[in-house]
Amino acid sequence: MQFDDLLTEQRNHRSTHIDRESTLEMVGTINREDHRVARAVQKQLPQIAAAIDAAYPKFDQGGRLIYVGAGTSGRLGVIDATELQPTYGLTEKQTFGLIAGGNQALTHTLPSVEDSPELAQDDLAAVQLTANDVVVASAASGQTPYTVAALKFAQAHGATGIGFSCIEDSPLAQLADYPITPVVGPEVITGATLLKAGTAEKMVLNMLSTGIMVKSGKVYQNLMINVVPTNGKTFERAKKIIAEATQTSTLAAERALDRAGNNVPLAIVLIETKGTIAEAKKLLDATGGHVSQAVKLSDDVQHA
């Protein structure tokens, strides 16, 4: 399919008069189109769930979550990876984003780099991609050479390939192990895929990464439990998380955190199971660090 024929490049008949609308009418037009994004993403929920279920066992076992893209798609991937690190206590080695053109492309437009398959191969080779890794390749059009080549390279090395695009049956969608293709339709401003396509990608990446983190035990109830207390603010946050998770006082939470050596998951298991530090550690070791599973295992043992 020619680039100009792509749905993301067509004119939107609902916004052809946006340049003559009042400011309130203009933002109303944009907002109505954004509602279409949510519905398009909703139709992809089974595909998103399947991608999460394929990705989290690899991540759980030490594989990396790697985002790849060019332009807006690449920047959104870098943002998602970067935000996961402090939110869930991850390192830069566990999740990161690769964007065509490198760090300079985060703040500058480098138009030619997205057309280079060789650059994608070099970028993934440089991080020593393995079969344990998960690669999330994103391109609104689904045919950006850099992104398609990155996904091909990933699959050639046995990595799990998730492909995000807004075009059904695009090269990226056909290639991906787990294609996710919310069809958001033409943009409010013709061809400006930083708008609806960008919003759709952000929504999908939010679901993917959150789902992988939840399934990998980085969340207990709906609390982010991998916060590392390194200063006064994070220490207070850790105490609050423990107190809320266990329905206990902040004083009891502080005592448990001290006994657990400032390890929040261990402190939670310690309170929830009413056991010893050694027993709590054993439960977490047996469940790969999953607090929910550790608490359940303790309950099962007590009621056996």
Q: Which residues belong to the active site?
A: 83, 114
Q: Which of 102, 101, 96 is nearest to 128 (CA)?
A: 96
Q: Which of 160, 178, 255, 196 is nearest to 38 (CA)?
A: 196
Cα 265 to chain centroid, rounded: 22
Give the C-alpha separation, 265 to 285, whole Å: 12
User: Are β-strands 134-138 and 95-99 bridged in parallel, bridged antiparallel, or unpaired?
Assistant: unpaired
Give the C-alpha separation, 148 to 164, whole Å: 11
Give the C-alpha separation, 53 to 299, whole Å: 26
Give the C-alpha separation, 202 to 95, whole Å: 16
Where do the DSSP E strands lie in the chain? 65-69, 95-99, 134-138, 160-164, 178-180, 219-220, 223-224
3-state secondary structure of 160: strand
Compute the residue count for the chain: 304
State the distance between the two ends of the chain, measured CA to CA, in whole angstroms.
62
3-state secondary structure of 267: helix
Concatenating the DSSP letter of every residue in 107-159 gives TS--TTGGG-HHHHHHHHHHTT--TT-EEEEE-SSS--HHHHHHHHHHHHTT-
